[in-house]
Homo-oligomer: A and B are copies of this chain.
């Protein structure tokens, strides 16, 4: 029997995850689900009877527990810390409220004065609960399971900080982009530097990788992305200086941004169902891994549909440099058994079989 450094017996989920991020061979594609911890899970709903959303985020024991729930009940390969991207906005000095209708920053930024009031916070003082939750969940899950930290990309956090809440059009932040581009750039710059420190603290606490959510990047044209979102994301990733830890960059509805996103400095691009995995792999090659990209709505239908969607995504990349995930967060109405079927189907695909199906063996 040949030497097999990635055989089932000796490769931990963390090794597998990190190897996939680096486009190195793995025996199967690692899988997790964006928003895997949350309101579609009965265990989570039960906790929410007793605690508010922000109490869960800010109590390390609870945040760690909520983070671990999907690891236990879905069997995912990575545990993302339970938190919210707006924690950074609050740490920078903006009031944050999270009613059931979604998060709101009631005193958003509209001018230079708003930017001047922002704080350059120390994560260990302002957001210690995030680091502590990561430490706790790492301890609980053991060294073989990758914990993931995360934050919003500068453009996406700027959307919330300028709009106050984001529903539909990004009118105010877009107006700033057109009417006061330097003001927006200085806000993006402040966010990028703060977020670099914030994510670094998560790596220090034990995160194996970090994901940067640029949820609203898809609202920008390529020209706008390259003029605003990209330089700020590049600065964030450079300042973060993640060392060996992979950086995953997510964007929604951003098939037109694949080229510039690949220049952000991230190891992995996380794309949605509108970005074709095989075409993107052909364009970008193996210099960047891909994460995604199943339509979350596929998990509303049935375990069979969810499982088929998982297998189809893996077929499209051949399982090389691929982390199976959804193209956006799991929907609140998703039946847990469909999410379980998605994960199980993804894990059942042997990459030898995929290679054979693609005629590569």
Question: CB within 8 Å of B: which residues of A?
Answer: 167-171, 174-175, 177-179, 218-222, 224, 253, 255-256, 273-276, 295-298, 300-302, 305, 331, 333
Contact = CB atoms under 8 A, between A and B. Distances in A.
B297 A171 contact: yes
Nearest to A254: B274
A179 B253 CA distance: 23
A178 B298 contact: yes
A349 to B, nearest CB: 19
A274 B256 contact: yes
Nearest to A306: B178
Contacts of A179: 300-302, 305
A297 B253 contact: no
Given A275-B256, A305-B179, A300 B331 contact: no
B220 A171 contact: no
Given A171-B333, A221-B274, A274-B221, A178 B256 contact: no
26 contacts: A167-B167, A167-B168, A169-B331, A171-B297, A174-B300, A177-B297, A178-B297, A178-B298, A178-B301, A178-B302, A179-B300, A179-B302, A179-B305, A218-B253, A218-B274, A220-B274, A221-B274, A222-B274, A222-B276, A224-B273, A224-B295, A253-B253, A255-B255, A256-B274, A256-B275, A256-B276
Given A220-B274, A221-B273, A171 B255 contact: no
Contact of A295 (B168, B174, B300): B174
A248 to B, nearest CB: 21
Contacts of A171: 297, 300, 331, 333
A80 B297 CA distance: 35
B256 A175 contact: no
